[in-house]
Amino acid sequence: MTPSNIRLVPEGATAATTNQVFIVARHDFSVDGILSILETEEDTYTISCMEPTDTCRQKFLDARPDILLLHKSIPTHPVEDYLDAVLALNPDVRILIFGQGMTDDFLHRCVKGGVYGYINERMTGEHLKKAMTAIRLGDLWVERKIMQRFVNEQANSSVVVGQALEQKASEFASQLTRREAQILEKLLQGFATKEIAEEVCLSHQGVKLHLSKLFRKFEVTNRSQLILAALNAVSPVPEMAGHLREALTRAAEV
C-alpha cells in the first residue's frame, strides 16, 4: 500500500507552533485509533505510511518530523540497528513505539537504542497524548520496571568496571619496585622532583635515577608520557588517553 493519510499543516500554523508526527505502521485498527486521537490535537499534523517503502523513507526525510510513531512490527532485527539507521536520517526525531504484546526485553532494547517511550495495550488514548507531550519536552515515557533494568545495569557495570580497574592496577603495580611505586605515586599527585625526594627520603639524583628507570620500563621520555602510560595501563578502556585527546580535539574545533 502506498503512503496515505497525509495531513497538511493547519492554516496559520508554523513549524514553531505545530508538532509534526510521522507514523510508520502496517494498517490495522490500532493505527486508525491513533490517527483519530491525533486529529483532535489542534497543534499536531501527521503524515502516515502504511508500509516502510522507499517512498515512505523519502517522505520521512522531507518531513523532518518532531515525533516518529513506529509500530512494533516495523523494526527489523536486531532492532538496535534499525533504530540507528532511523536516527542517522533524522538525529533529532523522538521515537515512540507502539503495539500489542511487546516484551520487557524488546522494550528495554528499544529504549537502549534511542526510543523515547512506548504505548502498549495497557495504555489509553490519554496516555498517548501525555507520552507525546513528555517526549517533546525531552522526557522519557517508560514504565518503572523498564527504568529499573537500566538502574540495575548501571550498578552492575560500575561493579564490573571497578573490579577490572582494581585488577589492572594490581597488575601494573606488580611491575614496579618499592621505590618506583613510591616515586610514581608522588608523581601522580603532582609533586616536583625535590618534593618527591623529601617525601621518600632520597637524594635529588636518586629520584632522577628511578625516574629514568621508569621511563625506560614504559618506553617514554618524560613525566607527562609516564603518567599517560600509567593511566592507559590501568584503564579498562583501551587507549583511554587517546579517546580523551580525540574528544578535546573535537571540542577545540567547535
Q: In angstroms, rounded to a whole number, what is the distance separating the alpha carbons of residues 141 and 133?
A: 9
Query: 210, 183 in Cβ contact below 8 A?
Result: yes
DSSP letters for 218-242 = TT-SSHHHHHHHHHHHH-SSTTHHH
CATH code given to domain 19-142:
3.40.50.2300
Rounded to an integer, the average pLDDT of 99-107 is 88
Q: In angstroms, rounded to a whole number, what is the distance separating the alpha carbons of residues 75 and 83?
A: 7
Grid coordinates of 19? 508538532
pLDDT of residue 4: 37
Q: Is the pLDDT of residue 92 over 70?
A: yes
CATH code given to domain 153-253:
1.10.10.10
Q: What b/e sequence results for 105-135 when a residue is b if at least 16 CB atoms lie within 10 Å of its CB, and e otherwise?
A: ebbbbbbebebbbbbeeebeeeebeebbebb
Residue 238: pLDDT band by 50, 70, 90 thresholds? low
Rounded to an integer, the average pLDDT of 90-104 is 90
Helices 104-112 and 144-173 sit at what angle, rounded to 10 degrees?
A: 60
Name the more confident of 17 and 214: 214
Closest CA to 49 of 85, 91, 8, 5: 5
Query: 30-44, 133-147, 199-213: lowest mean pLDDT where?
Result: 30-44
Parallel, antiparallel or unpaired: strands 94-98 and 67-71: parallel
Domain ranges of the chain: 19-142, 153-253
Name the more confident of 50 and 170: 170
Q: Is the pLDDT of residue 40 over 50?
A: yes
Query: 10-14, 117-121, 186-190: lowest mean pLDDT where?
Result: 10-14
Name the more confident of 38 and 131: 131
Query: 5-9, 132-136, 159-163, 182-186: lowest mean pLDDT where?
Result: 5-9
What value does the mean pLDDT of the chain take?
81
Query: 22, 65 in Cβ contact below 8 A?
Result: yes
> What's 100's DSSP letter?
S
Query: 135, 94 in Cβ contact below 8 A?
Result: yes
Q: Residue 232, class by beta-carbon neighbours within 10 Å (0-12 exposed, 13-18 middle, 19+ buried)?
A: middle
Q: Is the pLDDT of residue 99 over 90?
A: no
pLDDT of residue 2: 31
> What's 214's DSSP letter?
H
Q: Is the pLDDT of residue 181 over 50?
A: yes
pLDDT of residue 6: 34
Q: Is the pLDDT of residue 42 over 60?
A: yes
Residue 5: pLDDT band by 50, 70, 90 thresholds? very low
Residue 12: pLDDT band by 50, 70, 90 thresholds? very low
pLDDT of residue 88: 92
Residue 46: pLDDT band by 50, 70, 90 thresholds? confident
Rounded to an integer, the average pLDDT of 227-235 is 83
pLDDT of residue 163: 78
Query: 129, 148 in Cβ contact below 8 A?
Result: no
